[in-house]
Amino acid sequence: MMKHTLSGLALALGLAGGAWAQDQSILVQSTTSTANSGLYDYLLPIFTAETGITVNVVAVGTGQAIKNAENCDGDVLLVHAKPAEEKFVAAGFGTIRTDLMYNDFVVVGPAADPAGVAGMTDVEAALDKIAKSGAPFASRGDDSGTHKKEVSLWNAAGIDPKTGSGDWYRETGSGMGATLNAGIGMGAYVLTDRATWISFGNKQDYTVQVQGDEDLFNQYGVIPVNPAKCPSVKAEAAQTFADWLVSGAGQAAIAGFAIDGQQLFFPNAPKM
């Protein structure tokens, strides 16, 4: 495992509210699930109170977030598509990638369960049943982290859902919340991250029907944008934020975020 390089001086100055940190703000290019779940509303005031650094968030699909960071529009990247994140760092756009936290993906569906997948723990077998039944499936279709995971699951199941495009396979080109709303409106199955589902307010008769497969593991990572590629990056403040997230205080704050008694994210940054 790559060792995380902690900028001790930056962290110390940030936590002390040093002069350089005063009135500083950074921009995080982020996946939507961390924003839609309410995590940032909970987490960022704690960080700002400790450091004096304000964090602004652009919440888009992971693919778009990475493109934005590559265009130097952002100081920190926080997303959930590890191969794409590693490619981002290898190309020199990020300084270092660190595991931050995880949860899982689930397949939700209507009470009628037309494909008969409720209770299944083999996601590829469940997708095979959905495809063969012709039951509607709503896909984000937006190159987000969730969409990337969905594509990999269809591939693992040996199915090309594009053959059902416009029929049983419906691509929304939208974020997770909009896709859930659209999917529920058409009675379709939907792959979603659990945090978004827990915080989603329009469940109607939908429930989690497929879960528990190790292939549904959902890892998040944090990456400061590299000032060598993007000279406008606020490197010290960005590193302070990344360091805080993986510190004991940041990890405890992530673990403490819950809705209706359910923990949404599970910290797993490497121990320093």
pLDDT in tens, 117-151: 999 999 999 999 999 999 999 999 999 999 999 99
Q: Percentage of the chain surpassing pLDDT 70?
A: 91
* CA separation for the pair 262, 47 (Å, rounded): 22
pLDDT at 14 over 50: no
What's the pLDDT score for residue 272? 66
Distance CA 41, CA 229 (A): 30
* pLDDT > 50? residue 9: no
Residue 262 tokens, joined: 């359910």
Enumerate domains of the chain plus CATH numbers: 8-102+217-267 (3.40.190.10), 105-216 (3.40.190.10)
233-to-11, 61, 98, 154, 202 alpha-carbon distances in Å: 17, 21, 19, 38, 39
pLDDT above 60 (res 16): no
Residue 23 has pLDDT above 70, yes or no: no
Q: How many CA atoms within 13 Å lie on the side-chain side of 7? A: 19
Q: Residue 3: is its pLDDT beyond 50? A: no
Among residues 197, 216, 207, which one has the least CA distance to residue 123?
216
Mean pLDDT along residues 6-21: 40
| Predicted pLDDT at 271 | 85
Q: Where does residue 20 rank: exposed (0-12), middle (13-18), buried (19+ CB within 10 A)?
A: middle
Q: What is the DSSP letter of 247?
A: S
Amino acid 204: pLDDT: 98
